[in-house]
Structure 1
Amino acid sequence: MYDANRLVVGFDLDMTLVDSRDGIVACMQSALGSRGVTATPEQLWPLIGAPLLDNLAHFLPADQVEAAADDYRADYLVRAIEMTVPLAGARELVQAIHGAGGTVLVVSAKNPPAVTATLEHVGISPDVVVGDLFGHDKSAPLREHGATSYVGDHVGDIQAARAAGVTAVGVTSGPADADALRTAGADLVVDDLCELVPRLAELAAD
């Protein structure tokens, strides 16, 4: 048993709560293609979850990155939201946390308007949404909101949880496999969020 006040679960967004790969790839290819650059899904897939400017900088000269990011963000709100679906167990896990009296926060590298639009589209209602943060930078809102655990698919998410001093939970729905997540310091690794629904005690504070 646990005190509901000590169940505050943070989540990454892309490839943790939602499968957004098709929309991300389509918008990246459009932003790059308009600048004469071709990128395959295989090249883009490992980058999902990292900051947009960093990802674009893999393919474009520095003086084109900001404009490409503006194009990507505008295109994303028009096209990619509708292409996004919840991952297995995402809605059920969020509902279980709320049903137990706990708090849900989403901390993502995606910009806040896209985070909010994506969550509304897939029917997930967190208590707190924070955007534009990646890796260790995510630890600040986790500490601020009293998170007891953080769930993510990227090694940067695990690093954020460790930096915040909370339980680090890796899910293998993204580019990183179980070994990579454990090497980064994950306390727990699951294949999908369905596995966590009956395990809320492991996401709460001791």
Structure 2
Amino acid sequence: MIQAILVFNNHGKPWLVSFYQRFPEEIQQQIIRKIFHLALKRDDNICKFLGGGSLIGGSDYKLIYWHDATLYFVFCGDSSESELGILDLIQDFVETLDKCFENVCELDLIFHMDKGHYVLQEVVMGRMVLEINMNEIMAHTEAQNRLEKSEGGLPAAPTRAASTMKNIGLPEMPWIINIGDLKIKVPNLSQFV
């Protein structure tokens, strides 16, 4: 099973991170730094398999990475995963991002982080590989893009939320709610509707 997926640049700045085990943020940052230093020390002509999986889950885990232009794609998997299978999965993931962003670069992951995470979730979810067919992933991504455009995207969300609340017919809220000794004044929400 896959334990973590990390995408960072040549300077160690993470752009796409997905840990499938809970770690405090401080520990996650340490793990990313250590993995970055392990991958950075290696020449591009050397094997893409690292033994630093103990940073994440123990000696049973291994790191498989791919260096593409200014980005490192690192997957951590356990011994049940094939190193070549994971390397192929990384290549499929990178090719899908290339197709999605027309030659993926750091700026794509910075300004379209949601799309990068969506593609990642189409490939791997809950530590399991879901899909490796690039055409299926792209079809789902394009359907998601169409849905977001039809809903007006993120800028239209407050307006949609307000109109939804208005249309569900909730009773008028009292201006002051008394709970024992506690009095809560409810603000006038009509300005948002």
TM-score computed with the length of structure 1 as normaliser: 0.28
Structure (1/2) with the larger strand percentage: 2
Q: Which has the higher helix share?
A: 1
Does 1 or 2 have the higher relative contact order (CA < 8 Å, sep 6+)? 1
